[in-house]
Amino acid sequence: MTLPVTAEIEALDIDAIAGAEGRVVVFCDAGGKLDTGGRRVNRLTRGALERLVASKAFDKLKPGEAAELGWPSGMAAEAVQVVKLGRRPSAEEARKAGAAIGKAKNGKALLVLAGTLKRVEDLVLGLTLRAYAYSDQKSEKKDDEGPVTVMVTRPDAVRDAVQATRALAEGVFFTRDLVAAPSNVLTTTEFAAQLQALGKLGVKVEVLDEDALEKLGMRTLLAVGQGSDSPSKVVVMQWKGGGKGAPFALVGKGVVFDTGGISIKPAAGMEEMTMDMGGAGVVAGVMKTLALRKARANVVGLVGLVENMPDGKATRPGDVVKSMKGDTVEIINTDAEGRLVLADVLWYAQDRFKPTGIVDLATLTGAIIIGLGHERAGVFANDDDLCKAFLKAAETEGEGAWRMPLGEAYDQLLKSDIADMKNVGGRPAGSITAAQFLQRFVKEDCPWIHLDIAGVALTKSETALAPKGATGWGVLALNRLIADRFEG
């Protein structure tokens, strides 16, 4: 498990700056004005800091970007990082600045001279999220992470706000660790065990095994995993922080590895299919965040955990299976398996919990990457108010999302000659027909959003707040949605 660095908030002590080891961070606005900590560093370095902020190179930096003084004279630090940032930054600017600090930290001790800077909590969140590194599978022991000390003029006013970001960071890190873990490590059984551990935080966790799923009629979900030795499971996580009202539901696709089944994928790039449980990973991260911050809301998280493998028992193209709802599905392509998992879990969530609304998440289609790239997730919804609330939450948290269309005309592509529907509709509008398939398992009176996160769950280059690899996209936005909509 990767734990976030802990930022200690202390009162500004300019006498401690000269002896601080590791890295020291100061801030300067676009006008070149230094605060108390910056002026102290400038005196220690005999004007070097002042010359840097007056340079053309510093002038070209955008808010949140940084320059460095290496091995500054008069100081014990290895480097002084100079971040271009006004005293009243936006949340986005503060997080960007924090990410620049976290990226450069590289395990070193860190002294951040924030002084009177506003939005220190966003700065620390950006720092923490960008300093993430997944190392669980490396044999070389990771060196202890150097401490982070943030000095401000009013520590008592800042400390609680910074502490609140810890729950967000731990939720994001939990998601990233799950998505990054190889499938021989994160089996369906191990995944379920890690979710059961949330019980220590007050989450009520149930694991439904294959016998229970068979009795419930979850045959589309079971069809996906029947070619694997790893048993299929559904994990139900309940957080009851909002009284006796009906919960809001989160549903995640948890395909721990996807070969494509009998419709096997090309070998090139198949190793990335360890991330095909990304939707379930986000649900897990949100549930952990809600529990850690003792959210005043009722939320249930449900994840379908399966492995899609080719085997003598595997589902074949052309097979017909009956869903928990009772609809029959002709499986044209066994690589369109995520929607089969979600169909049964969506129906179960509504049947059992009667939720006030549902958000499902899945690394569902390559088509959404063709449409939106790796910048935004696809958002499909049957309820305008819920969709607008989510898009606002995603924008506030800097997590890219874009609403995509739904419509009855797309249903025509899913018509089957021998069953109630097919599981694919061909290449045209592939992400939309996948969403249309899922909508058939959502009751008309239930507000619903489907998030296709195939392009944003794992990236080959760094993002604003994450190194390349698992991003944890969605934890911040969904936490914000729940806070805004249910905690007021």
Beta bridge partner(s), residue 255: 306
Supply 16's token pair: 């401690």
Q: Residue 483 burial (CB < 10 Å; 0-12/13-18/19+)? A: middle
> Which of 8, 119, 49, 103 lies closest to 462 in space, CA to CA?
103
- C-alpha dihedral (97, 363, 474, 63), degrees to nearest 10: 20
Residues 82, 69 contacting (CB under 8 angstroms): yes
User: What is the amino acid identity at position 240?
Assistant: K
Q: Does the annotation mark 265 as catalytic?
A: yes
CA 88 to chain centre: 27
Nearest 10 degrees: Cα torsion 202, 206, 207, 208: -170
Are the CB atoms for 429 and 417 separated by under 8 Å?
no
Which of 255, 262, 467, 265 has the alpha carbon at shortest distance from 345?
A: 255
Alpha-carbon Rg of the chain, whole angstroms? Answer: 24
User: What 3-state DSSP class applies to 277?
Assistant: coil
| CB-based contact 42:70 (threshold 8 Å) | no
Residues 6+ apart with CB under 8 A from 365: 430, 431, 434, 452, 454
Among the listed residues 39, 265, 392, 403, the single catalytic one is 265
Catalytic one among 130, 166, 339, 422? 339
Angle between helices 120-130 and 91-105 (to 10 degrees): 40
Q: How far is 386 from 391, CA to CA, in rounded Å?
A: 9
> DSSP per residue over 347-360, as a string?
HHHHHHH--S-EEE
Q: Is 248 helix (H, G, I), strand (E, B) or coil?
A: strand
51 counts as catalytic: no
Active site residues: 265, 339
